[in-house]
Amino acid sequence: MGYPHRVTDEETIDPAGSDERRDRGERRDRVERRQRPTPMFSRYVFRGRRKGSRRGGEDEFTYVDRPGGWIVTAFACVVGLSLLDAWYTLDLLKRGATEANPVMHAALEISDQAFILIKTVITIVGAGFLCLHKNWPLGRVCLIVALLGYSALLFYHLYAQQMITA
């Protein structure tokens, strides 16, 4: 379907279909206002009105202006868990542990502040990208995997803290 799209006479002649569409709140008797679908990066992110698709069956593979409560919570949890991971990592490194991630190891060679900054920026960009793709099945799966992965990593850090102090 191209934009703009004008409904043809054949599509509007069926009175039963018109009543049915009207009952669902759909108004297809006008020219489509949007020239193209909502882009991934829009000036209306967080202040626009679109929280979901306009019509039934359009929920998958669409971008919205407002991400929704569970996405904002998941984003905050991923970033928070990442910051806890950074703090526990620095604490374990002071106690003699080593960093296994080569990118983070290189950041640690610069400074602790560079390590935290690089780790936080990478996490915010990655989690933000996944949140923008909340209506893609793979985006939702990856966001859940990130939450579970950081949660498991936090439990590992707590276990390592106990092993070092024991």
Q: What is the pLDDT of residues 30-58, one digit of tens each?
A: 555 556 655 555 555 555 555 555 556 66
84-90: long-range contacts at Cβ-Cβ below 8 A with a sequence spacing of 24 or more?
Answer: 84/154, 84/157, 85/119, 85/150, 85/153, 85/154, 85/157, 86/115, 86/116, 86/119, 86/120, 88/154, 88/157, 88/158, 88/160, 88/161, 89/115, 89/157, 90/115, 90/116
Q: How far apart are CA 144 and CA 142, in angstroms?
A: 5
pLDDT at site 83: 97
Q: How far apart are CA 13 and CA 132, in angstroms?
A: 39
Task: Give me the mean pLDDT over the 83-98 stretch.
Answer: 94
Answer yes or no: are the C-beta atoms of 2 and 19 closer than 8 Å.
no
Give, rounded to a whole angstrom, the gap between the first and last alpha carbons of the chain. Answer: 66
Q: What is the pLDDT of residues 96-143, one digit of tens each?
A: 899 999 999 999 999 999 999 999 999 999 999 998 888 888 989 999
User: Does the pTM of the predicted model rise above 0.85?
Assistant: no
In terms of Cβ atoms closer than 10 Å to its own Cβ (0-12, 13-18, 19+), residue 149 is middle
Q: How far apart are CA 115 and CA 110, in angstroms?
A: 8
Q: How far apart are CA 166 and CA 143, in angstroms?
A: 35
Which residue did the predictor score with more confidence, 38 or 69? 69
